[in-house]
Amino acid sequence: MTPRSALEIVGGQPLGGEVAIHTAKNSALYLILASLLTDEPLVIEDVPRLSDVLVALEILAHTGVEVAWQGRDVRLHAREVRQTSAPYRLVSKMRASFVVMGALLARAGEARISMPGGCAFGPRPVDRHLKAFAALGIEVADDNGDFVARRRGPIAGKVVFEAPTVGGTQNVLLASALGDGAVEIENAALEPEIADLADLLNRMGARIEGAGTPFVSVQGVPRLRAARFRPIPDRIEAGTFMLATAATRGDVTLRGVRPEHLEAVRDKLTEAGVRVVDVARDALRIDATGELEAVDVTAVEYPGVPTDLQAPFGAFLATVPGVSVVRDRVYPDRFTHVTELQRMGARLELTERTLVVHGGPLSAAEVHAADLRAGGALVVAALAADGRSRVLGLEAIDRGYERFSERLASLGASVSRSDERSTGPARGASSSPGGASAASSGTGSAVVAAVGDASSASVRRAGTASTGRDGPSPSS
């Protein structure tokens, strides 16, 4: 018997009201890894209780980090590093876990990491991470499917990324912040999560300059200290709520956002006829009650439209009369949502990695989310569709949207979460365990409660680290 959860959504109701945006999962995942760089406590404030975060905390607990929730804050204390690898069962669930390699190299001088897992929408190789480490004098070898990395001296040198990589940039920052070497990064990723990590590391005593630009310099320091830090707001969660509002022709105010992180999304929605108004320094009003028109969208690196919002954008455009074209220059095969949207009556043509959208009315259907952002897209479509839809695959959605149904309901949506028992996987689902419940047992495992709209979890370090095939893995 396996759990089968779903969101039941009766669409056609415009969203209205206000919603507070949580801190960014895609920042928190990397901020917590910084705990490995110091033997003093690190507190990350207001951390979203998502399955990806819980997996990352379990990996840290395995290495010896003391992990404890204090309300919505997480306190991390790496008095010592007991393991320089992590269990494959955790690594395989989340791409972001590969970035633990940099932190372990900085603190312990070695790391054993498996090929990362995460969302299933095409290859996202880590070769740029490995080439960057080699450029810094780090030895990396492949040992039965695990990458084994060792530093023989100071981490120093120049990294030139052939294309910007968020995880690769973060890996280098974590590896080089602690020590006595000097590192230069050219063609670094520009995403706000890079600057957020650098801000935390600098607060801990690091010397990083240029984060958020293509050229970043790091001068290693011998020791990093304790800190408290709050991640930036989640621009992907904010963008999803913006697109859900637009798809339902609603009027919603988002609180706790960084408008400068949402400029590309704002520009495209404005082009489509949505009014996006600053109502405060950290608040935006999304008014989609007027006439809308089709627009073309291409997902690119920051500061462009994020690849994580490409699928939700396609769902919104499927409701807008006219013809739109959607492309993704970051992950060109990220279209697992297309077949499911077609079940809802969306008129879509996917040819040579280009999605042509003929917008119009959508109808309710049972659909399955194959990955996190496909799940966001299906929820957006179901909110706009006529009738009662059932969205399966919540183990994917739980990776990035906390208390999603509860918060949508607060905006007037007719949405509820149901949990069933079934004798097999849902249609289109993998038979492997999902990320909704990262619970584990056995000596040395971190105990993590299941994630759902009830969002309750705790992680504690327990016993001696386990043995067996180990190695961590990066996310969506």
| Domains of the chain, each with CATH number or no CATH | 2-22+233-422 (3.65.10.10), 25-229 (3.65.10.10)
Q: Measured between alpha carbons, how far is 41 from 49 in angstroms, rounded to an integer?
A: 20
Cβ-in-10-Å burial (0-12, 13-18, 19+) of 145 comes to exposed
pLDDT at site 432: 34
Which residue in the list 59, 106, 113, 119 is annotated as catalytic?
A: 119
In this structure, what is the dihedral angle of CA atoms 358, 363, 366, 371, given to the nearest 10 degrees?
Answer: 30
Of 64-73, 109-118, 188-197, 230-239, the range with the lowest mean pLDDT is 109-118
Helix 127-135 to helix 166-176 angle, to the nearest 10 degrees? 30
Length of the chain: 476
State percent of the chain over pLDDT 70. 86
Q: Closest Cα partner for 373 from 230, 256, 235, 245?
A: 235
How many CB atoms are closer than 10 A to CB 40?
15
How far is the CA of 368 from the CAs of 337, 398, 400, in angstroms? 9, 13, 16
pLDDT at site 198: 98
For all residues of the chain together, what is the average pLDDT?
Answer: 88
| pLDDT(95) > 90 | no
| pLDDT(424) > 90 | no
Which tens digits make up the pLDDT trace of 232-245? Answer: 999 999 999 999 99
pLDDT at site 117: 54
| pLDDT(416) > 90 | yes
C-beta separation of 273 from 291 below 8 A: yes
| pLDDT(428) > 60 | no
Q: Measured between alpha carbons, how far is 50 from 382 in angstroms, rounded to an integer?
A: 22
Which tens digits make up the pLDDT trace of 321-349? Answer: 999 999 999 999 999 999 999 999 999 99
pLDDT at site 125: 66
Of 111-120, 281-290, 362-371, 386-395, the range with the lowest mean pLDDT is 111-120
pTM higher than the cut 0.85: yes
pLDDT at site 471: 32
State percent of the chain over pLDDT 90. 79
Q: What is the DSSP string of 381-435?
A: HHHHSBSEEEEE-HHHHTTT-TTHHHHHHTTT-EEEEEEEEESSPPTT--SS--S
Which tens digits make up the pLDDT trace of 197-252? Answer: 999 999 999 999 999 999 999 999 999 999 999 999 999 999 999 999 999 999 99
Query: Strands (DSSP E) along 124-205, which ranges?
Result: 138-143, 146-151, 157-160, 182-186
How far is the CA of 78 from the CAs of 36, 38, 189, in angstroms? 6, 7, 28
Q: Measured between alpha carbons, how far is 156 from 136 in angstroms, rounded to an integer?
A: 5
| pLDDT(8) > 80 | yes
pLDDT at site 466: 32
Which structure tokens are listed for 168? 């690769």
pLDDT at site 356: 98
Q: Measured between alpha carbons, how far is 230 from 47 in angstroms, rounded to an integer?
A: 8
Which tens digits make up the pLDDT trace of 433-474? Answer: 333 333 333 333 433 443 444 333 334 433 333 333 333 233
Query: Would residue 119 show up in a list of annotated catalytic residues for this protein?
Result: yes
List strands edge to edge, sheet with 2-10: 366-368, 388-392, 2-10, 414-422
| pLDDT(91) > 90 | no
Q: Measured between alpha carbons, how far is 34 from 195 in angstroms, rounded to an integer?
A: 14
